[in-house]
Amino acid sequence: MLSGSKGIALGMAGLVLAGFVAYLALRGLTPPLPPPPPEVAQDPLLSEGRQLYFDRCVSCHGTAGKGDGPIAKGLQGPAPRDFTTPQWKYGNTASETLQVVTQGVKESAMPGWKGTFSPSEIRAVTAYVYFLGGRSVPTELRAP
């Protein structure tokens, strides 16, 4: 029989090993980020916004911005926005879109990213949302 401290140490080692095995198994579930389209790759703002979008937004809004991310159907409240539609519910101007990304949307699953992203990162991910919607990136999103 193991003494108390040896048993605890063995148990801890087992947990660490199990966690490592789980990590190795789960990391294969996240597909690698596909290469960006040339117009994104050549634009530093869109490149940064794309990375942020794939890190934090794709699970709800989907890879193409159609609101069909893997967890979209399980969310409470209104469905995630489809950026490819002609009219956006909370406004089409850069300032309105920045407000949504910064503050979120009440009574929906859309969080505000103010405490997570810097102002420049919020502008970058907002610019990428415009790109996904097939829209020109407003000049005020490119300003520092």
**Which residues constitute the domain of residue 42?**
38-142
pLDDT, position 7: 66
pLDDT digits (tens), the chain, 144 positions: 556 777 676 667 667 766 665 555 555 545 677 899 999 999 999 999 999 999 999 999 999 999 999 999 999 999 999 999 988 888 889 999 999 999 999 999 999 999 999 999 999 999 999 999 999 999 999 976
The contacts found for 106-111 with CB under 8 angstroms, 24 or more apart, are 107/77, 107/78, 108/77, 108/78, 109/60, 109/75, 109/76, 109/77, 109/80, 110/60, 110/80, 110/81
* Residue 42 sits in the same domain as residue 18: no
* Residue 10 sits in the same domain as residue 64: no
Please give the tally of structural domains in the chain.
2
Amino acid at 97: T
Alpha-carbon separation of residue 62 from 72, 79, 127 (angstroms): 8, 12, 16
CATH (domain of 60): 1.10.760.10
* Residue 25 sits in the same domain as residue 82: no
Residue in this structure with the two tokens 């990304």, named with its chain if needed: 101
Alpha-carbon separation of residue 25 from 19, 28, 37, 93 (angstroms): 10, 6, 30, 43
44: number of Cβ within 10 Å: 11
* Residue 82 sits in the same domain as residue 20: no
* Residue 78 sits in the same domain as residue 17: no
* Residue 44 sits in the same domain as residue 21: no
* Residue 80 sits in the same domain as residue 24: no
* Residue 86 sits in the same domain as residue 110: yes
* Residue 26 sits in the same domain as residue 96: no
Residue in this structure with the two tokens 């997570």, named with its chain if needed: 116
* Residue 9 sits in the same domain as residue 73: no
Question: How far apart are the C-alpha atoms of 105 and 39, rounded to whole Å?
Answer: 30
Beta strands in the chain (DSSP E): none
- pTM value is 0.77
* Residue 19 sits in the same domain as residue 66: no
* Residue 25 sits in the same domain as residue 91: no
